[in-house]
Amino acid sequence: MANPTVVKIDVEGYESAVLDGFGVLLSDVRVLLCEVHPRRLLPDETPKRILRRITDAGLTIGPSRRYCNVEYVLATRR
């Protein structure tokens, strides 16, 4: 069974927990679409830290959109 290469994260504030759960599997992801909910994040978590975790995994943040206090982030691996 192959690891996922395209992932959408829409977990209403638990983005950091999902990224933690991926562990080394995140290195296989080519495309990541993540909704970041700043008002619902876990304690001590910030949108900036979530974006840093995505880039630390080797993904490049592309265009993002903000709508109704939600940041829609598209990240890809080259």
pLDDT on residue 64 = 81
pTM metric for this prediction: 0.88
Cα(11)–Cα(35) distance, rounded to whole angstroms?
8
Reported as a pLDDT band with limits 50, 70 and 90, residue 2 is confident
Reported as a pLDDT band with limits 50, 70 and 90, residue 66 is confident
Segments in the chain forming alpha helices (H): 15-22, 47-56
pLDDT on residue 3 = 83
Average per-residue pLDDT for the chain: 91
Instruction: Give mean pLDDT, residues 53-69.
Output: 90
pLDDT on residue 14 = 93
